[in-house]
Every structure is written in structure tokens, then in C-alpha cells.
């Protein structure tokens, strides 16, 4: 239940006018937070769902009641309540969807109306996305998508987001590598709905998961399949993902992008099993000679078990292998995320953490927040050890990309980072978005309050 302390509109306007200059210098919407209305002013950056606020400052407000850590500004009142529960949902569906472009605007408008953030791809072959919002809002989005009969039966993975996690994501706690209001340059402060040729880039128009696809294996049956010595396990993700975690004995194709997978299958499909995390070198990390599948045409094609983050890449990869003549092609239903969600750590054959394409960066068993951060120079995961390297520079480079970047590229990245640290947005203050219309003063906005003031 929300409670509203008395608050004079005149005091609000006076506080706004008095600090407007400071707010414009900060180029961030801010609010006063203090347990004593006569105490010195404390400026705390505030966000209006990723948009710059026309009203640059809110008034002082008393501390919330015990157990309440969020405030809601509605016009001239501040209402206190519990932090809104958030969830992250990843979803996809392959479908014959030639009129996908017409779906973009209504979907984007609904996401914005419901304050759902994230990224969604629409293509002639279907839909692929990952969004964050309240459970009610996310359910409305997913139901709206599935009102189109072609998109019914979305494959989904849902993860909860705790208020503390959300605070870390948005730089509101001491655990965050950025200051309050300074989110990562590649942040999710609104929804992006993009039109593309493919929902996951493979580069082979002949591969159609809607026509032929491998056999799904549920997480509870996965261990038995990959423990069979006659099964070749293939991780179809990229090198930087595999570097931080994989299943035991999985083959690493050592691809930089999913587009390279067909070439790897045609030219370098290795039957040797990888025995180490983050394998490297020509021997696939095992210390044993590599065996080329194509070296012996008389050999029967092996049983293949493949996996990826959420299952979407395996749909295309398994379809591709079946088109190449493989008879037994299996893939993990729901991907690594579903496995980590359902299989207890004590029974798991997973080693390390799973890279995810959102602010969490990585997750572990039970989909718990992982330990990795993101290098914004190359968008690869970095460990605590990586950040001790002399090649680590926040927003610029890490040990995995330092040698690949020229000094000119690094200087551009430094300039970009300086812009973000100064203005809170890449490109300077003119890049900030203003709220639509004149309803800004009546808009509802959540303001996260510190646990102690």
C-alpha cells in the first residue's frame, strides 16, 4: 500500500527553481533525499525510465516507512511503497513471418506503454527477444505477441531480478563499477525493436528450422546423453562465451560468430573431445591430435548433442547438420539457461558460468548472478582477475581485446567514455530524450531510495 506525506506544490516549485542550474550542469534529473527538511540539500541522480525529465528536480522527501525502499512521484506527491518485482524473459519462435515489419510499431508502443525494456528482433523467419519488466507487464507483451497464431508457442526462459540486482545494474549501490545514474554505455533504458533478415544470423538461407530440426532433449535427460561415449557434444556458441563456461567434454568450434559454424562443420569438424575449459590451440585443448570427420568418409556419422545459451542457435545448427546427412542430432531444450535452472549443482555436468546477453553478463546454477563484468571495448566478459591486468581500462579495453585495438581506436573509446561520464549519455547532452507531450509533471516514476541516508 502506498502512503503520501503532505507536500506543498509551491515548495516543490521553489526547490525546482533553486536547483535547476545545478541540475542542468549535471545533465541528469535529480531528487532531494533527507530525513530532515531543513537539512543541507543532497542531490541524488534520478531516471525517468531512461528519459531526461523536464522537471530537473524533485523536492526533499521524508524517509520512507520501514521496509519501503521505493518512492513513486505522481504529480506533486511522492508515494512510498515496495520495490516493483522485475523479471527477465528471453524468448524466440521460428515462423513464416513475411509481414514482420508491420508488427514492429504496435509492439514497440506497447512495450513503451508498459515500461518494458530490452531488445527484440523481427525477421521473415520469426521473432527473438529478451525483455525486462514487471511480471504483469511482461505477460501482457508475451500474450500480445502470441495473439498472432504464427508466433504461438514461444520458447521462453524467465529469470527473476531482485531489487538489489536491479540497483547494481543501474549504478545505485557501492557494488556497482559505475556511479549513481551512470549506466553502462550499452544500456537497456528502453526497448529496441529491430527488423533484420534473420532472428539469429547464420548466413545460409537454405536452413529452415520450421521445416526440419533436431530432437529436443529435456534437461533431466541431458546428462545421460552426453555421458554416452558414442555421443559427440558440440558447443555452438562463440569463443568468448565458451571461455567462461561449458559442459564437460564439449567440442569448442572456436568460432568468432555463429556465421562461421557452417564452415567449421564442412572443413574442421573435430571428433576429438575437449577436456578443458577455455581450450585453445590446434589440438582443441586436449593435448591429443585432432581427428577430422571428413578424413574418413567410410565412418558412420556420429550421434551429435549440441547446446547453446537458450536454444535458438541449436535450432539452426541442428537443421544444418540434418541437411548434411547426419541422422542423430539432439539439442538441449531451453539451452544452458534451462539446464542451470532445473538441475541441482551437485548433479550438474556444467563447468563455470554462462554468458548472457543482458546486464547480468553471466549466471550460474539456479540462474544466480555470475561474477563476470563486461568490457565495453569489445563486449566480452571479463573476470576479476582480468580487471587486475594492465590491459584493463574501463570502457576502453581488456586483456582479450587490448592487442587487437589500435591507439586511435582506444582514444576514441576513451572519448566516448568521457562523454558518458560527463553527460550520462553518449554524444553529449543533446542526445538526451525529453518526455513526450506536457504530461511530464503528472507522470508516474519510480525513484530508488538508498538503504541508508
Domains of the chain (ranges; CATH) run 9-82 (no CATH), 86-195 (3.30.70.100), 215-355 (3.40.250.10)
Torsion angle defined by CA atoms of residues 5, 9, 11 and 14, in that order, rounded to the nearest 10 degrees = 150
DSSP secondary-structure letter at 148? Answer: S
C-alpha dihedral sign at 316, 319, 325, 329: positive
Distance, in Å, from the CA atom of 308 to the CA atom of 72, rounded to the nearest integer, reads 40
CA distance 185 to 182: 9
Q: Is the pTM of this model over 0.75?
A: no
Please say whether the beta carbons of 101 and 175 come within 8 A: no
Separation CA 271–CA 297 (nearest Å): 13
Q: Using CA of residue 132, residue 133, residue 136, residue 137, what is the dihedral sign?
A: negative
DSSP SS3 for 50: coil
Task: Show pLDDT as tens, one digit a residue, over the chain (453 residues).
Answer: 444 444 444 444 444 343 333 333 222 233 333 333 343 333 333 333 333 333 333 444 444 454 445 554 445 555 555 556 788 898 999 999 999 999 999 999 999 999 888 899 999 999 999 998 889 999 999 999 999 999 999 999 887 775 555 554 443 333 333 333 333 322 445 789 999 999 999 989 889 999 999 999 999 999 999 999 999 999 999 999 999 999 999 999 999 999 999 999 988 885 433 333 333 334 444 333 344 545 444 467 889 999 999 999 999 999 999 999 999 999 999 999 999 999 999 999 999 999 998 788 999 999 998 999 999 899 999 999 999 999 999 999 999 999 999 999 999 999 998 988 887 655 444 444 444 443 333 333 333 333 333
308 catalytic? Reply is: yes
Residue 295: Cβ-neighbour burial (10 angstroms; 0-12, 13-18, 19+) = exposed
SS3 247: strand
Cβ 218 vs Cβ 333: under 8 Å: yes
Radius of gyration of the chain (CA): 25
Catalytic entry in 308, 354, 378, 398: 308
Q: Which helix (H) or strand (E) is 195 found in, with range? A: strand 191-195
Question: Mutual orientation of helices 261-268 and 312-323 as an angle, nearest 10°?
Answer: 40
Nearest to 219 by CA among 337, 364, 93: 337
Residue 378 CA to residue 201 CA, distance in Å, equals 19
The conformation of residue 340, written as its DSSP 8-state character, comes to H
Which is it for strands 329-332 and 215-217: parallel, antiparallel or unpaired? parallel
CB 424 within 8 A of CB 179: no
Q: Which of 425, 407, 446 is CA-nearest to residue 186?
A: 425
Contact residues for 449 (Cβ-Cβ < 8 A; gap 6+): 33, 63, 64, 69, 70, 71
Give the rounded distance of the alpha carbon of 27 from its chain centre: 26
DSSP letter string, 385-417? TGGGSTT-BTTTB-TTTGGGS-HHHHHHHHHHH
Nearest one of 176, 178, 192, 210 to 130, comparing CA atoms: 192
Q: Which residues pair with 88 in a beta bridge?
A: 132, 159
Task: Determine contact, residues 92/310, Cβ cutoff 8 Å.
Answer: yes
> Phi then psi for 29, rounded to 5 degrees?
-65, 140
Q: Name the DSSP letter for residue 419.
A: H
Signed CA dihedral, 91, 94, 96, 101: sign only: positive
Phi, psi of 8 (to 5 degrees): -80, 135
Amino acid at each position: 500500500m502506498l502512503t503520501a506525506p503532505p507536500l506543498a506544490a509551491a515548495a516543490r516549485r521553489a526547490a525546482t527553481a533553486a536547483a535547476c542550474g545545478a541540475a542542468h550542469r549535471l545533465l541528469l534529473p535529480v531528487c532531494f533525499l533527507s530525513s530532515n527538511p531543513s537539512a543541507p540539500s543532497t542531490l541524488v541522480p534520478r531516471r525517468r525510465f531512461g528519459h531526461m525529465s523536464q522537471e530537473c528536480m524533485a523536492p526533499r522527501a521524508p524517509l520512507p516507512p520501514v521496509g519501503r525502499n521505493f518512492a513513486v512521484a505522481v504529480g506533486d506527491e511522492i508515494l512510498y511503497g515496495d520495490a516493483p518485482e522485475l523479471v527477465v524473459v528471453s524468448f524466440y519462435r521460428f515462423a513464416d513471418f513475411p509481414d514482420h515489419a508491420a508488427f514492429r510499431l504496435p509492439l514497440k508502443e506497447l512495450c513503451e506503454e508498459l515500461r518494458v525494456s530490452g531488445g527484440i528482433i523481427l525477421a521473415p523467419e520469426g521473432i527473438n527477444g529478451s525483455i525486462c519488466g514487471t511480471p504483469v507487464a511482461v505477460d501482457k507483451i508475451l500474450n500480445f505477441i502470441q495473439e498472432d497464431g504464427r508466433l504461438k508457442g514461444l520458447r521462453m526462459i524467465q529469470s527473476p531480478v531482485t531489487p538489489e540486482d536491479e540497483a547494481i545494474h543501474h549504478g545505485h549501490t557501492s557494488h556497482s563499477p559505475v556511479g549513481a545514474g551512470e549506466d553502462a554505455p550499452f544500456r537497456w533504458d528502453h526497448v529496441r525493436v529491430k527488423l533484420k533478415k534473420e532472428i539469429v544470423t547464420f548466413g545460409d538461407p537454405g536452413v529452415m528450422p520450421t521445416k526440419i530440426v533436431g530432437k529436443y532433449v529435456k534437461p533431466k535427460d541431458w546428462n545421460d546423453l552426453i555421458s554416452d561415449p558414442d555421443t559427440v557434444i558440440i558447443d555452438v556458441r562463440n569463443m568468448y562465451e565458451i571461455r567462461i563456461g561449458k559442459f564437460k567434454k564439449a567440442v569448442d568450434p572456436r568460432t568468432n560468430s555463429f556465421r562461421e559454424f557452417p564452415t567449421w562443420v564442412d572443413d574442421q569438424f573435430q571428433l576429438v573431445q575437449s577436456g578443458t575449459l577455455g581450450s585453445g590451440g590446434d589440438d582443441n585443448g586436449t593435448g591429443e591430435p585432432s581427428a577430422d570427420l571428413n578424413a574418413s568418409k567410410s565412418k558412420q556419422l556420429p550421434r551429435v548433442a549440441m547446446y547453446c545459451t537458450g536454444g535458438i542457435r541449436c535450432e539452426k545448427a541442428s537443421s544444418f547438420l540434418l541437411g548434411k546427412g547426419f541422422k542423430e542430432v539432439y539439442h538441449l531444450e531451453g539451452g544452458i539457461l534451462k539446464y542451470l535452472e532445473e538441475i541441482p549443482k551437485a548433479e550438474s555436468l556444467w563447468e563455470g558460468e554462462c554468458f548472457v546477453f543482458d546486464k547480468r553478463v553471466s549466471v550460474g546454477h539456479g540462474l544466480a548472478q555470475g561474477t563476470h563484468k563486461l568490457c565495453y571495448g569489445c563486449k566480452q566478459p571479463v573476470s576479476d582477475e582480468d580487471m587486475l591486468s594492465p590491459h584493463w581500462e574501463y570502457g576502453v579495453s581488456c586483456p582479450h581485446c587490448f592487442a587487437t585495438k589500435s591507439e586511435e581506436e582506444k582514444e576514441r573509446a576513451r572519448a566516448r567514455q568521457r562523454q558518458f561520464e560527463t553527460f550520462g549519455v553518449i554524444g553529449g547532452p543533446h542526445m538526451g530524450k525529453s518526455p513526450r507531450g506536457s504530461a511530464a509533471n503528472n507522470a508516474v516514476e519510480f525513484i530508488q531510495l538508498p538503504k541508508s541516508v
